[in-house]
Chain A
Amino acid sequence: MYDNAWPYPLEYDREEIINADVLVLGGGVAGCMAAIAAARAGQKVLLVEKGATKRSGAGGSGCDHWESAATNPCSKVTPEELTQAMLHDNDGFNNGISHYIECREGYDRLLDIEKMGGKIRDTEDEFVGADFRDDETKLMFAYDYENKFTLRIWGTTFKPAMHKELRRLGVQILDRVMVTSLLTEKGAQGGRCVGATGIHTRTGKFYIFNAKSSIICMSRPARVWLFSAELPGLCEFRPTQCIGDGHAMGWRAGAEFTMMEKSVRAEFSASGRSYPPYGAGNNHNTWYAASIIDSRGKEIPYADRDGNILNDVKDRFRPAKGQKFFMKGGGIDFPKYEIEGPETLSFSKMMEEGYKLPFYADLTTLPEEERRVIWGMMVGQEGKTNVPIYRNYTKEGFDPAKHVLQCYGTGWTSASFLPQERQLFGLPGGFFNDWTLSTNIQGLYVAGDALYASDCYGHAAATGYYAGRHAAKYALSNDLLQWDRQQVDKEKVRVYAPLKNDPHSSIGWKELNMAIAKTMQNYCGEVKYDDLLKVGLVRLKEYEENIIPQTFAYNPHELVRLLEVFDILTVSQIIIEASLARKISVDALYFKRGDAIEDESSKDKLIVIKQHEGEIIKREVSVDFFGDLKENYEKYNQDYIRGDRS
C-alpha cells in the first residue's frame, strides 16, 4: 500500500472554465478522430480525456485488424452488401447507420491515419508474394483473402500519430480529467447540451466546459456484472477506467438509449477468470487461422459452412462454394449461414471422436508467411499483446516454428464462464442516434463505443470523424449558450461529497462495485424475470440513496474510481429498466425471459428508453428505422462527398 503523502497539489473546489466551439468528451480512437474532423472544419476544439490521449482508450495500445473497409481499392464487396450482411446477421438488431459509415468511410480514415504517420501497409516488403498481400498497394488483408475488405494494420503506431495530428491542428487537449456530467440549457433535463463538467484525476480541480456542440466519445459500460477487488484491471477486456461514464451522464441528462437489455456471457477477462486474450491457444481474430491440435499432436480439421473438410490451409481463407464472402471479427460471434466462414470442427464432436485434451494452437505447420503474420505482426500489434505476449513470450523462449501454445476452456474465450457472468460485448446497447450521429439532445453527438451496437477500431474511427463533422456543422450555425450555475453547483456537491466522510465507517469504491456486480448477477443474470428485476432495481435504488452518501475516497485518484462506480450504478439501472421494458425473449439480443408475458409485437422493434424527471419513457422503433442506407447517407453528406473541408 502507498503510504506517502499525496504527491500532487490538491485543488478540490477550485474552478476553471474553458470555452470552445466543439467539445469532445473522451480521447480514444473515436474522440481523436472527432476532434480532428471538427478542427479541420475550422472549429475551436477542446478534447477532454481521463487518461493520456497519446495512448488512451480501448485502442490506445494497438490494434491488429481493421474491419469492413469496403471502399479500399482491392475490396470485392460494397458498403451496402457488408452493412446488410451485418444487419441480417443480427436479425436487424444492429446499428445500420454507424456500420454503414464504417463501411463507407473506414478506408478514408485509414488513408488519413497513414498521412498522420500510422502504418497501414507493408512498406518494408516483409510479406511480398503472400496470399494476403496485394503487391501493388502493399495492403495486407485478413480472413477472406478473395474479397479483401478487412485489413491487417500496424495499430500500435496509430494513436501516437493521431495525437501528433491533434497538436498540429491546435486542438486543446486536456488529459487526466474525468468528465462527470453534461450541462444543459437552463439546467433542464433533455434541454440543449451546452457543455460538461469535469474533475482532475490528480488534483481534484473542478472544470466547467462551455461549448456550442459536444460529442460523447466514451466507452461502453463495464464492470457491471464482473468485479475483482484484488485485480480490478483484469475485470474486462477494455481498460480499467473505461466503464461507461458517457452512458451514465447521458441517462442523467435525458438521452435516449437502445438495446441496453442485451448482454452476453463473458468472453474476455471476466474478473481474471480467463487467460490473457490472444495470449493463450486460440484460432480467432488475431490468431485466425492457426491450426489447433490435441495433446497427441492430432490436428482438428477446419470445415466450411457446409461441413466439407478443408485439407489445404489456403482454403481457410476462401469463401465456401457458392458463397460470395464470409465474415470474421469482433462483432461476429455465431454467424448465420450466409456469411459463415471456415471454422474448426466443434468441441463436442472432437470429444466424441476421442481427441485428447487440452488442445494447443499450432503455428509450426502453417506456411511460413502465415506463421510470421500471426505471431510477428498480429500478436505484435494487437491491443494487449505487443509487450506482455509478443515480447515477453519471445524473451522466455517461445518459438512459433517449434512450440505449441495451450488452449484454456473450449475456444477463443480462453476460459469457461458462468451464465451470470455477463458483459456488454458483441454489439452491445448504447446511445440511440440519427443520421447525423446526433442524440435526441440538441447539440449532443455520439461516436464509437458509446453508440448502440458498436464494435472495433474502424467503427470508432469512422463514426468519430463523422460525428466531428456534423457537430462542427451544428456549432457553425448555433450560438454559445450560457451554462446554469445551479446545475454546476449541484454537480460540485455530488462529486466532492465522498471526501467529507469518515474513512473508518465508510464504504470504498471497490466494496460498492462488488455489491453492484453481485446484485446484477443475482437479479439480472442470464434469464430475466420481472419479479427479480424489480427487486434488483429496488436494491440499486437503496445503494443510490443510502450507500452513496456513506462512501469515501482518500485522494483524487480514488475519488475518480468512486465516481466511476456511481456511473456503473446508473448503468446497471439503465440495464434493468431496459430489461423490464422488453417482455419477450429475443435471440439476437441474447435476451432470455423466464416469464414471457406479452405478445410478440415488439419482436422486431428496438425499444428506445430515456428518463425524464424520474419517469421512464419508452418507445418502440422499427429495427430498420434508418431507411435506405446509401440514399440517406448521401442526403446528409453531400459536402463530404464533394470533398469540402468545412
Chain B
Amino acid sequence: MKEMPAANPIIFDKSKCMGCNRCMEICQVDIFLPNPEKGKPPIVAYPGECWYCGCCVMECPVEGAIELQHPLMNRVHWIEKRLLIEQGNE
C-alpha cells in the first residue's frame, strides 16, 4: 500500500543526479535517506518535515539535478502590471 504525501518538496532529475548524497548530508532536518542502490538519488523519506530552506539545492554540484518546490497551496500569483491595470479597468 502506498499513499501520496501532502507535498512533494524535492524533485530529482534522475538523469543528472550522481547519487553523491550531498543534499542528504546538508539537510538540517534530515529528511533524506541514502538510496540502497549506489549512485541513485537519495530517498525523500520525510517530505512533510521539509522547511523549504533550499540548502539541498545550494549544495548540489550538478545544475538541475535537484529541485525544491513549494506545496501547491503556497504557490503565489503574479501578473504583468499592464494586464492588471487593463483587467481592473474593464
- Chain A residues engaging chain B, CB cutoff 8 angstroms: 1-2, 4, 7, 50-52, 54-57, 60-61, 156, 176, 201-202, 229-234, 238-241, 272, 275-276, 279-281, 293-297, 356, 360, 362, 364, 383-384, 386-388, 391-393, 398, 402-406, 408, 557, 561
**Besides A202-B30, A360-B81, 12 other CB < 8 A contacts?**
A4-B43, A7-B33, A7-B36, A51-B29, A60-B28, A176-B30, A239-B29, A240-B50, A296-B89, A297-B88, A360-B78, A398-B78
* Total B residues in contact with A, Cβ cutoff 8 Å: 49
Cα A439 to Cα B85 in complex, Å, equals 58
Check B43–A388 contact: CB distance below 8 A: no
Check A51–B73 contact: CB distance below 8 A: no
Cα A51 to Cα B32 in complex, Å, equals 12
Complex interface: chain A residues within 8 A of B80 (CB): 402-404
**B62 at interface, CB cutoff 8 A:** no
- Helix, strand, loop or mixed for chain A's interface? loop
Check A201–B30 contact: CB distance below 8 A: yes
Complex interface: chain A residues within 8 A of B26 (CB): 52, 54-55
- Chain B residues engaging chain A, CB cutoff 8 angstroms: 2-3, 5-7, 9, 25-31, 33-34, 36, 43, 45-46, 48-55, 57-59, 67-71, 73-74, 76-82, 84-85, 87-89
Complex interface: chain B residues within 8 A of A279 (CB): 70, 74, 76
Cα A557 to Cα B44 in complex, Å, equals 13
Count, A-B residue pairs, CB within 8 A: 160
Check A276–B70 contact: CB distance below 8 A: yes
Check A297–B81 contact: CB distance below 8 A: yes
Known interface pairs A240-B49, A272-B74; A233-B28 also in contact (CB < 8 Å): no
Cα A280 to Cα B84 in complex, Å, equals 17
Complex interface: chain B residues within 8 A of A276 (CB): 52, 70, 74, 76
Check B76–A406 contact: CB distance below 8 A: yes
Check B79–A403 contact: CB distance below 8 A: yes
Known interface pairs A56-B28, A60-B55, A201-B30; A295-B84 also in contact (CB < 8 Å): yes
Complex interface: chain B residues within 8 A of A241 (CB): 28-30
Cα A391 to Cα B51 in complex, Å, equals 17
Check A61–B53 contact: CB distance below 8 A: yes
Cα A281 to Cα B79 in complex, Å, equals 12
Complex interface: chain B residues within 8 A of A55 (CB): 26, 28, 53, 55, 58-59
Q: Which 7 A-B pairs have the closest CB atoms?
A: A387-B54, A51-B28, A296-B88, A230-B6, A2-B45, A61-B53, A297-B85
Check B84–A384 contact: CB distance below 8 A: no
User: Closest approach, in angstroms, between the C-beta of A269 and any C-beta of chain B?
Assistant: 9
